[in-house]
Structure 1
Amino acid sequence: MMTPRSARAQNRILIVMACFIGIFCIISGRLVFYGMKDDPVDFNGPTGSVLAARPDILDRNGAVLATDINTVSLYAEPRKIIDPDEAFELLATVLPDLNFEQTYARLKGNAGFAWLKRGLTPKHKSQIMALGIPGIGFRTEKSRFYPGGPTAAHILGLVNIDNQGIAGMEKYIDSQGLSDLRDVGLAHGRKLAPVKLSIDLRVQHVVRDVLVNAVERYRAIAAGAVVLDANTGEVLAMGSVPDFDPNNPFNALEKDRLNRMSAGVYEMGSTIKTFTTAMALDSGKVDLNSTFDATRPITIGRQTIHDFHGKRRVLTLPEVFLFSSNIGSAKEADVVGIEGHREFLVRLGLLDRMQTELPEVARPTEPKVWKKVHSITISFGHGMATTPLQTAVGAAALLNGGMLIAPTFLPRGIEEARTMAKRVVSKKTSDDLRYLYRLNAQKGTGGSASRTQVPGYRVGGKTGTAEKVINGRYSKEVRFNTFIAAYPIENPRYVVLTIIDEPKPVDGQVAAGAGLNAAPMAAEIIRRSANILGVLPVFETAAD
């Protein structure tokens, strides 16, 4: 017969057994749970953020520009590797490109973890699993995929092997808090809200296609373009070729893959005369009826300023703009003075580093101390260098009624734009500039007039053909060409700026000025994209 004491002892044994069974069931259940998950949450590799998700990047209409996909990566636990030689030989049958010295050193090491190969295919995974190598495992990671390939490469940028943004809008997204979420583990395996850009993928495709064709047709070393909303500052499209494929960015760091539109600074040639003429008009000291003596060249120090399309007579202000007179532009700048000249360019944002979301933005260059010779040469586009994108932004301010609006790669409404806009010239000056732009597109020099016209759209524009500095001297054979266009010119909605670097003559032509290449590029972009952007053509029967 069981005594009370023995009964109590038996009950204690039963309680202890029940506790052990309960703990065993909990542990077994958790092991089964983790074994069924793709991403073991308590696994720690060499980086703590390889499982971190990134938000999708969308264009303004919801088209996917960048998204995350799952990939598989191979790792080893060297302490569990029985025979490093055999392990490597077996792996090499599936992955023959494995670096022997590096991989073998990792396999025979004493570390608890070592990456062997990132971004494997499902086929590779199944083949390696069939080998049954102890101490070898796989981890599901997030990898970035860009459906459009190189279409918007310079805007979207890049991520590194750990899915962290290192360039373009990918880097901007990290800087806005994604890196902090990753650090505290809140971006791991989560579906994050997508980031919508101002870019229109359809227009972006048109721009890149035009640039690729232009580099081939004009045998240039590079080309670029931007389509800018003149009233909101939104960048609808921007491209620079040569570019790269962010899905396989092996050549992304080559210097010729530079984003020339925002990360390159250039002397913008006669497009700068847009600002010089606007400056003179806005000073109130001249108007459209003013005249400037361009009878003879200007000599200052050792430099003599000539006109390429010289008329050798007194020119009205519209003629200075129409004939792209260097002498006339110099005298326009002289009306304002050296300090006023520099202040105006600062006011238009041409001499300071541009503020926008894209990280790759270069700082303009200018003389350390402005003298009269600097003011004269800068008046027609030599002696200072700025980025093409901020040139387009400044031109938009002169044509949209006089309001400077910082560029953005994110959606921005008209009301938001108005709250941040800064008046830089009077409405009267802007009206005069629109008149000059339209006049120049119709009758301008340099071959741009006929090549700028787009049937159904009233386009205004200004060319710029800048001689490049080669070995410290301006070369008459090597050029950097630009064209600024705006449409509809009476009330511009969009500004298009094109550049082409070192173009060559084509079709039996002896010249390669901007009117023969940069201007047709802009016209082609407008012809193919205006309807996409909602600007319908208007065909007039009466004389323009």
Structure 2
Amino acid sequence: MKKNIIENINKDNEKNLIDLSQVRLVVIFGIFSILFITLFIRSIDLILLNDKSFNSFSSNNSNIDKKNRSDIFDRSNVLLATNVKSASIYANPKEIIDKIEASSKLASVLNHQNSFDIQKKLTSGKPFVWIKRQVSPKEHFQVNKLGIPGIKFKQEVKRVFPQQSLFAHVVGSVGIDNQGLSGLEKKLNQRLLKSNKSVLLTVDTRVQHALRRELNLSMKKFDAIGAAGIIMDVDNGEIIGLVSLPDFNPNIKIKPSDDEAFSRATLGSYEMGSTFKPFTVAAALQNKIITMKDGYDATKPLKVSRFIIRDDHPKERWLSVPEIFKYSSNIGMAQMAKDLGVDKQKELLEKLGILDRSKVELSEVGKPLIPKNWREINSITISYGHGIAVSLLQVAKAYAILVNGGKKITPTLLLNDNNFIPDENFYNERVISEDTSKKIRGLLRLTVKSGTAKKADRLGYEIGGKTGTAEKPSRGGYQKDSIITSFVGVFPMDMPRYVIAIMLDEPKGIKETHFYRSAGWTAAPTVGNIIERVGPLLDVMPNKTKNYWKNFEATYISVKSNE
């Protein structure tokens, strides 16, 4: 019996031990559960609630980061600008133990970053510092792989430009916080932020490629420091292509050089030389100061006040109006301007949009430089493109009006823009008559056929246009070694559809041009090459059976009769 009692006692002890063990396990499990829940809550706090501390450091940026800008497309729905999610890297320096080592590791995997700059941020004493904004997926992965405590990520919206530098001076660029910095992105900043509707542009990516390529080739060929070109629909002002070189890649968040950021197409104001002569002739024809059968004595240089006016291609004889135009006679043009008068000259230039800043939808638009006191001597020099500085876009618009029958247009980059509500008489307003427009078209074709722009001619395209060569002004005079060459071409002349205006900044003469550098040798052939490339893209095919020349037989006879 004693034995049974002892056995029962042992069993009770074993049971108590088992119960005690179970209690201990429950307690231990409970403790670990509490620790796990605490750690889990803390991790949620770090991941989700971390944004609150982030916003306290970046309250100015938080609202912008959440906003997508509207997508931008060309006229054929080719994507020009859109948004993607991107990680940005920041740090809490207090959580980083070895700041020198961390700086070295980060610099080794981040482009355009050096360890010294990163170390300077980490030792700044601030509780929050940006390391790099909007990194690439590869950089995101590599930094995450480093596993450095205190290095964290913030998701942001990044603006990307699939065409890279192609539309740098059209679409423009945005800053790191998605605010518009240049181009359409700046001009339409609020519209792009507030509207979810995509923006369609008038430009054609194919045409833009061709325009940029030909300008780039000519710029290199003639060792020019810059170039610009515009292709515009003459009937509605739609800009099909707009290029300024050098340009920049808006995807790279590094400030471009001043030269790259400067738009020679819309912001720069230049003396355009003889490309101004059609304006003088149009005004004289419109006001019945001259007829196509009239002319002026260009036998010798003309003295006006203290100035001596000479011709670059002197014929030293009487010249008819068509000859003055095609040979680009400054002497003949000066006499025509004197007969025309200051007021009538200014009136037409104003109607053509030459005297006012362009209203195109870009932030970089230059103001024309015009004389404060417009006297007769100013009128004379302006007649052949000196003493007044305008943008290439203004000249392109003016030529479009001259050849489209005289109808007023406004250059635009927005396709089917519902925000543009013109005056009821806008589309009916005429700047010059159809008859004057027809005569100007004939003179432009004459200049390419047998004048200073022969190198622009291309079989089947019936190109018309005018060359311009001007020395760049400097303090107290002009730089004889630095010139701007330009050519404004129109095609096809039987029914004009497009105007192409280009300029080369400081081209040099080469062996092929017999070391001549004027517009007839540099700018004119560039436009001819552009037309050959973009004509088929714009549904203007070469037609060898056309002969617009015959439509201007009277013009041809008036020239021949004096040769």
Whole-angstrom CA distance in 2 between matches of 1:454 and 1:92 = 55
> Secondary structure of 1:514's match?
coil
Structure 2 equivalent of residue 171 of structure 1: 186
- Relative distance call for 1:419 and 1:40 in structure 2 (3 A) is farther
Secondary structure at the counterpart of residue 331 of structure 1: helix
Output aligned runs, 1:74-153, within 5 Å: 74-78=89-93, 80-81=95-96, 84=99, 87-88=102-103, 91-92=106-107, 94-95=109-110, 98=113, 103-104=118-119, 106-107=121-122, 111-153=126-168
Partner of 1:54: 69
Residues 482-504 of structure 1 show CA distances to partners (whole Å, capped at 9, x for unaligned) of 11111111221100111112212
Counterpart AA for 2:527:
A
**8 Å CA contact retained: 2:107, 2:118:** no
Cα-to-partner distance string for 1:361-407 (whole Å, 9 max, x where unaligned): 11010111012111111111111000011101011101101012111
Question: Contact conserved, 2:70 with 2:192, CA < 8 A, in 1?
Answer: no
| Counterpart amino acid of residue 528 in structure 1 | R
Q: Separation in 1 of the partners of 2:412 and 2:111?
A: 46
* Cα deviation 1:137-183 (Å, max 9, x = unaligned): 101222222222221211121111112210011112314362xx4xx
Deviations 1:101-140 (A, max 9, x none): 6544544566553212123233433343344444331012
Q: Is the 8 Å Cα contact of residues 462 and 483 (structure 1) preserved in structure 2? A: yes
Aligned to 1:431: 438
**Structure 1 residue 541 displacement after superposition:** 7.7
Greater Cα radius of gyration, structure 1 or 2: 2
* Contact 1:479 1:502 survives alignment (8 Å): yes
Whether the aligned pair in 2 keeps the contact of 1:234 and 1:412 (CA below 8 Å) is no
How many angstroms apart in 2 are the aligned matches of 1:96 and 1:431? 59
Are the equivalent residues in 1 in contact too, given 2:202–2:238 (CA < 8 A)? yes
CA deviation after TM superposition for structure 1 residue 355, in Å? 0.8
C-alpha distance 243-121 of structure 1, shift in aligned 2 (>3 A): closer
| 2:238 counterpart residue number | 234
C-alpha change, 1:470 and 1:534, in structure 2 (3 Å) is: same
Structure 1 residues 513 and 125: CA distance shift in structure 2, 3 A = closer
Aligned equivalents of 2:421, 2:400: Cα separation in 1: 17
1:248 correspondence with 2:252: yes
SS of alignment partner, residue 168 of structure 2: helix
Q: Secondary structure at the match of 2:468?
A: strand
1:71 has 2:86 as partner: yes
Letter aligned with residue 527 of structure 1: E
Report the CA distance between 1:299 and its aligned residue.
1.1
- Residues 91, 472 of structure 1: CA spacing in aligned structure 2 closer, same or farther, 3 A cutoff? same
**Which of 172, 187, 211 in structure 2 is aligned with 1:157?**
172
Letter in 2 for 1:118: R
What is the aligned partner in structure 2 of residue 494 from structure 1? 498
Match of 2:537 among 532, 537, 542: 532
Aligned pair 1:420/2:426, yes or no? yes
Using the aligned pairs only, state the percent identity. 39
Offset, 1:357: 0.2
Say which of 293, 305, 309 aligns to 2:297: 293
SS at match of 1:240: strand
1:535 shift after superposition? 1.4
8 Å contact 1:81–1:108 — kept in the other structure? no
Give the 3 Å change call, closer, same or farther, for CA 302–152 of structure 1 in structure 2: same
Cα deviations by residue, 1:447-471 (Å, 9 ceiling, x for unpaired): x21x222222111111111122355
Counterpart of 2:133 in 1: which secondary structure?
A: strand
Query: Structure 2: how far apart are the matches of 1:200 and 1:241?
Result: 18
Distance 1:477 1:84 in 2: 56
Give the 3-state SS of the residue equivalent to 2:169 in structure 1. helix
What TM-score, normalized to structure 1? 0.85
Q: TM-score, normalised by structure 2?
A: 0.82
Measured in 2, the distance between the counterparts of 1:257 and 1:359 equals 12
Q: Which residue of 2 aligns with 1:479?
A: 483
Q: Is the 8 A contact 2:69 2:192 kept in 1?
A: no
State the secondary structure of the residue aligned to 2:67.
coil
- 1:227-261 per-residue CA deviation (whole Å, 9 max, x = no partner) reads 00000101000111111122226462323552101
C-alpha distance in 2, partners of 1:301/1:170?
Answer: 49
Equivalenced residue count is: 503
Cα distance in 1 for partners of 2:391, 2:247 equals: 17
Query: Structure 1 pair 100/475, CA: closer, same or farther in 2 (3 Å)?
Result: closer
Q: What SS does structure 2 have at the residue aligned with 1:259?
A: coil
In 2: Cα distance, 1:77 partner to 1:391 partner: 56
CA RMSD of aligned residues (A): 3.0
Query: Contact 1:232–1:412 (CA<8 Å) still a contact in 2?
Result: no
- In the alignment, residue 432 of structure 1 is paired with which amino acid? K
> How far 1:56 moved relative to its partner?
1.9
How many Å separate the matches in 1 of 2:513 and 2:146? 65
Distance 1:526 1:419, change over 3 A: farther
User: What amino acid is aligned across from residue 514 of structure 2 in structure 1?
Assistant: Q
Q: Using the TM superposition, give the Cα deviation of residue 295 of structure 1 relative to its aligned residue in structure 2, in angstroms.
A: 2.7
Cα shift at 1:441 = 1.3
Q: Is the CA contact (8 Å cut-off) linking 1:393 and 1:404 kept in structure 2? A: no
Partner of 1:15: none
